[in-house]
Amino acid sequence: MNAKKEPISILLVDDEPHFRQGIRTLLNFYNNSSSVGLDVVGEAASVEQALKLTTEQHPALILLDLELPPEDGITALLRLGELSYNGKVLILSAHQQDDWVFRAMQAGAWGYVFKDQLATQLCEAITTVINNKVYLPAEVATAFFRLFHYYTGHSLAAAGTSIHLTEREREVLNWLVQGASNEQIAGHLFITVATVKAHLTAIFEKLSVTSRTQAIVKALKLGLVCP
């Protein structure tokens, strides 16, 4: 049996005690089913408490809500930056509006997970950000880059002209950007799931990516689809 690695220290920041307890339960489940240990070193219900515990405990990862009356998680992110906090911050939020996603990532978050998707995405999100990679599931990546294009006022459309996608591949890519599953894409386009997978393989190869999120990010950056 493989020994567990040094546990990842985590600070939970949310003003709802029941939600924090739910996260603890999820983390305990991951601890029992993974070789990676997760150690909750503190809980905070406000920005001030979060900053105090961060300076005391130096957590490797902060799981941060964006609703922390009387302030918010964006304020927490900015003040953590002022403290030169060198860990990672993963946003867990009920806010699904584009501007919240964009502002959080712009302020220094390493990932963003909608609260109604935590059961299926939290473990992967933690693993991703701890390994120094940004975590944005498909629906979040789309929201982020929609605002990215709005604020920058341009896309890299010209750079995408050298990438040739068939009409069907563009249709598949468009649905992918909307967060549709393989089964949903198949239903929308009246094709089989196997055909969808074949188109995705071709799309990934042409875009030089290896995952759905990478494909969405690159397609939006290059202006291959509209967000």
Q: Which residue has the higher pLDDT, 202 or 138?
A: 202
pLDDT score of 159 more than 80: no
- For residue 169, CA distances in Å to 86, 100, 164, 202, 211 come to 41, 31, 9, 8, 15
CB 107 within 8 A of CB 74: yes
pLDDT score of 96 more than 60: yes
Q: Which residue has the higher pLDDT, 125 or 99?
A: 125
Which domains occur in the chain, in start order? 8-135 (3.40.50.2300), 146-221 (1.10.10.10)
pLDDT of residue 5: 67
The mean pLDDT of 158-176, rounded to a whole number, is 80
Task: Categorize the per-residue pLDDT at 226 as very low, low, confident or very high, splitting at 50, 70 and 90.
Answer: low
In degrees and rounded to multiples of 5, residue 212 shows phi and psi of -65, -45
Pure H helices in the chain: 17-33, 47-57, 73-82, 98-106, 118-130, 138-152, 167-177, 182-189, 193-207, 212-221
pTM for the complete prediction? Answer: 0.67
pLDDT of residue 172: 94
pLDDT score of 207 more than 70: yes
pLDDT of residue 211: 82
pLDDT of residue 156: 47
Separation of alpha carbons 85 and 64, rounded Å: 14
The mean pLDDT of 164-178, rounded to a whole number, is 89
pLDDT score of 152 more than 60: no
The mean pLDDT of 115-120, rounded to a whole number, is 91
Separation of alpha carbons 136 and 101, rounded Å: 10
Lowest mean pLDDT among 30-34, 38-42, 143-147: 143-147
pLDDT of residue 188: 92
pLDDT of residue 3: 52
Separation of alpha carbons 20 and 13, rounded Å: 8
Q: Which residue has the higher pLDDT, 198 or 100?
A: 198
Tokens at 126, concatenated: 């933690």
| Closest to 215 (Cα-Cα) out of 168, 161, 183, 175 | 175
